[in-house]
Homo-oligomer: A and B are copies of this chain.
Amino acid sequence: MKIAVLGTGTVGRSVAGALAHLGHDVVIGTRDPQATLARTEPDAMGTAPFAQWHAAHGEIGIGTFADAAARADVVVNATNGAGSLAALTAAGAENLGGKVLMDIANPLDFSHGFPPSLNPVNTDSLGEQIQRAFPEARVVKTLNTMTASVMVDPASVAGGDHSVFVSGNDADAKEAVAGLLTDLGHRDIIDLGDITTARGAEMILPIWLRVWGALGTGVFNFKVAR
């Protein structure tokens, strides 16, 4: 499958690497590929320069948001939540129409320090904002409730015995995403309903951040025990 992963941070790299490892044809999209590849310093989060990571993943292409999305069957939004709409606008509505758009970002606002605020909440979500902005895309919110390493290696936590959620309006798109999640090793995929249910999936972030603090690690996941 041709997959565009938008975003060059830890989440984008993890997902792109795992999907390429599964045999998919993956291109990472970024605003300015030359600038991304030219960076030689770790970013503010201490993440190694992209070029260093990319050198070890030669099978993964890199292009502009628009180039990556144009050739893809599935587009993964792995950008920072605060920049997601701008990144997708740069990708272009014409390159997203009809496609499965896996939105794995969280609309966290760190501008007032830790803990971040979540915006929007309650009556809207980033997933819905993206669906409204790109009505022809088939948005599926998923994976945003866990850290990047668990997204792509669920077996690393409790042998994979935990849950992942999907929210979206298009049943076929959710099925396609569930297929990718299954390939990544996820075993308990819970369909919450339409894209408005992304509100709940996003609003889990504040407790996720506090559990991270309590455990001293982000390598955990929620399981819906029943």
Interface residues, chain A, CB within 8 Å of chain B? 115, 117-119, 121-123, 157-158, 161-162, 165, 190-193, 196-197, 199-201, 203-211, 213-215, 217, 219-226
* CB proximity of A118 to chain B, nearest CB, Å: 6
The reply to whether A213 and B193 contact each other, CB–CB distance below 8 Å, is yes
* CB proximity of A192 to chain B, nearest CB, Å: 4
Known: A121-B121, A222-B222. A192 touches B217 (CB 8 A): no
A157's partner among B119, B196, B205, B226 (CB-CB below 8 A) is B226
Given contacts A192-B211, A192-B213, A197-B210, 16 further A-B contacts (CB under 8 A): A115-B196, A115-B199, A115-B200, A118-B203, A122-B206, A161-B225, A162-B223, A191-B214, A193-B214, A200-B206, A200-B211, A203-B204, A203-B207, A220-B224, A222-B224, A223-B224
Closest to A215 in B: B226
Known: A117-B122, A122-B118. A193 touches B222 (CB 8 A): no
Main secondary structure on chain A at its contact with chain B?
Answer: mixed
Known: A117-B123, A193-B214, A200-B207. A226 touches B220 (CB 8 A): yes
Known: A200-B207, A203-B204, A206-B200. A224 touches B213 (CB 8 A): no
- A122–B203 alpha-carbon span in the complex (Å): 9
Closest to A194 in B: B210
Known: A206-B122, A207-B201, A210-B200. A225 touches B158 (CB 8 A): yes
* CB proximity of A2 to chain B, nearest CB, Å: 31
A226's partner among B118, B122, B203, B219 (CB-CB below 8 A) is B219
- A87–B33 alpha-carbon span in the complex (Å): 59
A206's partner among B162, B203, B220 (CB-CB below 8 A) is B203
A221's partner among B118, B123, B225 (CB-CB below 8 A) is B225
The reply to whether B225 and A222 contact each other, CB–CB distance below 8 Å, is yes
* Interface pairs (28), CB distance under 8 Å: A115-B199, A118-B203, A121-B121, A122-B206, A158-B225, A158-B226, A161-B225, A162-B223, A190-B211, A190-B215, A191-B214, A192-B207, A192-B214, A193-B210, A199-B206, A200-B209, A201-B210, A203-B203, A203-B205, A203-B206, A204-B204, A219-B226, A220-B224, A220-B225, A220-B226, A221-B226, A222-B225, A223-B223
